[in-house]
Structure 1
């Protein structure tokens, strides 16, 4: 039995753009598809992919929105055509000139001609060389890893945790490299994964979190970092993405998996909190410059790309072996249970107890006169019951 292919869907950013072009909120779109607004938010951010009937309904609705947007869009003006008079006329080919004959000396010997210089040949443009997956990953890591480490440091305030978060995010990207390589924004994919890992509440349970790291040397940087760490994680992430990285409001909302009004509200609250502690940073331009200076003043380095790739492959092998060992143990336990389990119900046998006061059993013997008389009386009576009583006159 063959399974029908899934309905194609546009990229996550295109889904969000179609919804915003149609002036629909995530709640309205969720009501039309029959899902929750959180599900629509996950679809538009690329975290999850719809399946089954929900995918068919979602794809049909996006197609309708795209057709409506195409109808409302103005048609492009046609390009003016060249008139016949404006076309260039072909030039007549130049006739080849005859080569001059060599001059003859009086003795009849021809003069030697000078060597003709070779004409330069046109150099063909080199064909683009296709990169291997490892080379493409290394190029992406070398381009974005240093900046991502500095951004993650603004979220956590810990240098080692920022470096480890970025490495884990790139290891996850290497495991899902076909998906990341086809993504329209691979840096955003890795950045979202690194931020999720860095802001995970499980980080507080690690022993490393109990030992504080030395703060920045500059007092101004130390005050700004403390103000950032006092913000809620969602507000801090929104502020770093918008004022630190430089994303616009819809992109920040998509990466934080929130609506645009909620993202704007978080951004305003975060700016107010930072400006309350540092009034000089009330201007967004000054705040952006100070965030860049704070991240640049720290000496943060990232590991080499081959080291990250090998670490990700090692973790993948360990997880695979652990999954295989767990599966083998589960199969062995199930087989042992099936082999030793009873096939029918056996009620438990209660322990025996001594019964007292019961007369001893007497061996059979001859009947007494009373027993013989009783037996004869029983034999004489009818087996069906007593005789029928009939009334008599007295």
Structure 2
């Protein structure tokens, strides 16, 4: 059985460039390929790669778009709710588009669509905000903005809300701050990669959630004692219910009802299929409604999540401190890696120096030699030998006890 050769595709950056050059949105490309917009976004960022028939269709579409003249761009298909992609925020490396970490949108067009499609959301944005509020627009960066300034702008926009989201995910204030700091430190280390990501806020959010939900935190002595519960009794009940959910269900519920992501985006961030993400949301809502009947309506649950996140005063450190600590940690591990490498090289050189320079063969194994009588030891006496021994004993017993020499 022979395997069919894999269809070649352009690089993720080239895929995005071809689509933007033809003035197509990710939704329009997804409709022509037969997948969701989140899938096309994952293909263009390089997180996933198309397979099977979808790969062939996607490669054929990219080839047609690349071959067609730019002026003759294909007419986009009519959709029920046309959603215009948010304009990317310029960065020193490439365009950085900050995707929403909150129910409030980054552009007016996307904010209007979010108001139509979803009810008021909660914990993603400023606690207590709703979809009817004015949409928050991230100011575009100046062309000469440095990477540090672009990072600080992303941190100032995402960090305050992300700390509150992580607190709802873990129920621990210190761990929430630490998770956000580690996520932004990792983003600063990989800033060339994060800067060209279409959703840098989602990149940081996924890193913070992964660190916060790591099971290794249970082994830390600081996490053996429970964290102080919220002051309000209703907030304590809701937090207890959230922490009683499985981690995957809790994260999916927070992304969908708290942050305000769409179902495909929620499934993509949790690395689950869309039906699986939908089932997690339904089961999580049912578990919350079973213990708190007042939150059986999704809108009420979203409002309570907003209030619970806003009740905690969790402040993130300054971005300069996060960058400095991240750089110090990077330098420490770099120097440690260099030291270990030098140690290995020194041990190898010492081994080569003291190793023998010539080979000494081992002695050959012994071989039997013929002509040598076998070794014998005392055996059993014969009858003649017994008689002789008896005769000798009898004769000596009647003689003198001591023999003395005598002269003749």
Work out whether the TM-score is over 0.5.
yes
Quote the Cα distance in structure 1 between the aligned partners of 2:171 and 2:306.
14
Select the residue among 1, 12, 15 that pairs with 1:10: 15
Select the residue among 123, 144, 147 that pairs with 2:161: 147
Q: Structure 1: which 5+ residue stretches go unaligned?
A: 26-39, 76-126, 353-357, 360-394
Select the residue among 196, 202, 211 that pairs with 2:216: 202
- How far off is 1:10 after superposition? 3.1
RMSD: 3.8
Residue 250 to residue 68, structure 1, CA distance change in 2 (3 Å) = farther
Residue 41 to residue 210, structure 1, CA distance change in 2 (3 Å) = farther
- 2:337 match: 323
- 1:183 match: 197
- 2:352 match: 338
- How far off is 1:320 after superposition? 0.8
Q: C-alpha offsets along residues 240-292 of structure 1, whole Å, 9 cap, x if unaligned?
A: 00000111111111111211111111111111111111111111100000001
Select the residue among 252, 268, 272 that pairs with 2:266: 252
Q: Structure 2: which 5+ residue stretches go unaligned?
A: 1-8, 20-24, 66-72, 79-140, 367-371, 374-408
Q: C-alpha offsets along residues 309-332 of structure 1, whole Å, 9 cap, x if unaligned?
A: 101111111111111111111222
Select the residue among 289, 292, 296 that pairs with 1:278: 292
In the alignment, is the contact (CA less than 8 A) between 1:235 and 1:266 conserved in 2?
A: yes
Q: C-alpha offsets along residues 329-357 of structure 1, whole Å, 9 cap, x if unaligned?
A: 1222222223333456545569x9xxxxx
Tell me which moved more, 210-219 or 334-343: 334-343
**Structure 1 stretches of at least 4 aligned residues deviating more than 6 Å after TM superposition:** 13-17, 67-72
In the alignment, is the contact (CA less than 8 A) between 1:45 and 1:257 conserved in 2?
A: no
- 2:104 match: none
Select the residue among 35, 56, 64 that pairs with 2:60: 64
Select the residue among 148, 163, 176 that pairs with 1:134: 148
Residue 337 to residue 247, structure 1, CA distance change in 2 (3 Å) = same
Residue 279 to residue 256, structure 1, CA distance change in 2 (3 Å) = same
Residue 284 to residue 21, structure 1, CA distance change in 2 (3 Å) = farther
Quote the Cα distance in structure 1 between the aligned partners of 2:15 and 2:40.
15
Select the residue among 240, 264, 270 that pairs with 2:278: 264
Matches within 5 A, 1:86-105: none
Residue 17 to residue 347, structure 1, CA distance change in 2 (3 Å) = farther
In the alignment, is the contact (CA less than 8 A) between 1:244 and 1:292 conserved in 2?
A: yes
In the alignment, is the contact (CA less than 8 A) between 1:172 and 1:312 conserved in 2?
A: yes
User: How many aligned residue pairs are there?
Assistant: 285
Residue 232 to residue 10, structure 1, CA distance change in 2 (3 Å) = farther
Tell me which moved more, 316-325 or 180-189: 180-189
In the alignment, is the contact (CA less than 8 A) between 1:15 and 1:62 conserved in 2?
A: no
Q: C-alpha offsets along residues 187-237 of structure 1, whole Å, 9 cap, x if unaligned?
A: 111111100110111111212111211111111111111111111111111
Quote the Cα distance in structure 2 between the aligned partners of 1:162 and 1:289.
21
Quote the Cα distance in structure 1 between the aligned partners of 2:142 and 2:206.
31
Residue 302 to residue 277, structure 1, CA distance change in 2 (3 Å) = same
Quote the Cα distance in structure 1 between the aligned partners of 2:350 and 2:57.
52
In the alignment, is the contact (CA less than 8 A) between 1:166 and 1:194 conserved in 2?
A: yes
SS of the residue aligned with 1:299? coil
In the alignment, is the contact (CA less than 8 A) between 1:148 and 1:166 conserved in 2?
A: yes
In the alignment, is the contact (CA less than 8 A) between 2:33 and 2:57 conserved in 1?
A: no
In the alignment, is the contact (CA less than 8 A) between 1:154 and 1:225 conserved in 2?
A: yes
- 2:68 match: none
Quote the Cα distance in structure 2 between the aligned partners of 1:276 and 1:170.
37
Residue 233 to residue 128, structure 1, CA distance change in 2 (3 Å) = closer
